[in-house]
Amino acid sequence: MKTFDIIKKRINRVSKLMNLSDREVDVILSYKRIKHAKLNIGEKSYEAMRILHNDAIGPGKGGIRYHPDVCEDEVKSLAFWMSLKNSLAGLPYGGAKGGIKVNPKKLNKKELEKLSRAFIREFHNVLGQDIDIPAPDVYTNSEIMGWMLDEYEKIKGKHEPGMITGKPLSLQGCKLRATATASGAFIVLKEFLTKIGKNPSELCVSIQGFGNAGKNIATMLYKDGFKIIAVADSKGGVIDKDGLDITEVIKTKDEKGSVTEYGDKKITNKELLEMETDLLILAALENQITEKNADKIKAKYILEIANGPVTEEADEILYKRNISVIPDILANAGGVVVSYFEWAQNRTGNMFEDDYLEKRLKDIMTSSFQKVYDMHKKKKIDMRTAAYIIAIKRILDAEKARGRL
């Protein structure tokens, strides 16, 4: 089943709990803009797209990913989740996403720069600080955002740093951005564990995905006293029931390209998902837990840092088994919250101290968690459903205020 079909199933279920009309459901599942392009670099051509889901609350906001599996279904789904994520966090944004179907590992730096600038040349008319604001995503980074900003400003003939976030610090980026997604997830996790009365020392943790977010959350948990017993990246993983030395695992990953080069106890991604553990952190890609393996999951708690790692059918199975899932649109919102800080500073010219921004991030993430947890308890529904209800209501309220509904 396609990812957006899974979303539609989830929305149809949530809409019944919210008593939404057919027109309201149609608005939530409709897209403002879907734009495709072919990027020609030398003799090669690459598919690219930028998709805006909804802009009732504000301009589109969402990353650009470079990946060989990029397709319209994936980017549509990611744009949809961005709308809900931004709404839930109370940010002044709608949701958008972009991507290029490419394996960036096969391109040199000069080719990557040409590709990134070509993307802006094709999409600059649908981007801007008041229209749609990109950011880094899978296999994109601050350097790529810098190239994109430069190309955009060349075309427009003016400075507009707020048109893109996740930029280098030298181009008015935000220092917190590099670790923001993991920081937000860490804040939410700690709030959840406080609610259920658990201490870090009591929990064994497994982490699937060891890119930027996975490495950073591992570092934060390790420093806080959590015992991390397994981690995995795209090539596989490593396990140590007595606890991994995360500092050394990260060093190995950085030097040799994969966590599998660390130690001698190997584990596959499938085995990591289904192993005995207390907390399972999903920081890789979507659709990792499905109806095929949901009944084999042994973790008591799941933290979603990746987008859409648990399918609708799996959600129902996990909920019936009393496995708590902290949903992606809540747990991984730290990145876009800090992107908002960067955008706001770019727009106003006001520069805030790091400690102030760290406090704002904590306040926003804690407030979002509290709203979701309260509804989850009050209505006896899973946390994802609670998060969807809160987010969808805000979007529909904005649509009604505009007279569209």
**Which of 32, 61, 85, 97 does the annotation list as catalytic?**
97
> Mapped to the 3 state alphabet, what secondary structure does 249-297 carry?
HHHHHHHHCCHHHCCCCEECHHHHHHCCCCEEEECCCCCCECCCCHHHC
Instruction: Please answer whether residues 111 and 76 qualify as being in contact, where contact means their C-beta atoms are separated by less than 8 angstroms.
Output: no
d(CA 204, CA 217): 14
Q: What is the DSSP string of 70-83?
A: --HHHHHHHHHHHH
Instruction: Please answer whether residues 167 and 146 qualify as being in contact, where contact means their C-beta atoms are separated by less than 8 angstroms.
Output: yes
Beta-bridge mates of residue 38: 47
Smallest Cα–Cα separation from 122: which of 93, 146, 99?
99
d(CA 37, CA 20): 35
Q: How many CB atoms lie within 10 A of CB 137?
A: 21
The end-to-end CA distance of the chain, in Å, is 31
What is the gyration radius of the CA atoms in the chain, in angstroms?
Answer: 20
Provide the CB-side half-sphere exposure for 151 (13 A, CA): 21
Q: Which residue has the tokens 């980026």?
A: 173
Smallest Cα–Cα separation from 189: which of 334, 339, 376, 381?
334
* 97 labelled catalytic: yes
Give buried/exposed letters for 157-166 (b at 16+ CB in 10 A, else e): eeebbbbbbb
Question: Residue length, the chain?
Answer: 405
d(CA 221, CA 214): 11
Q: Which residues are catalytic?
A: 97
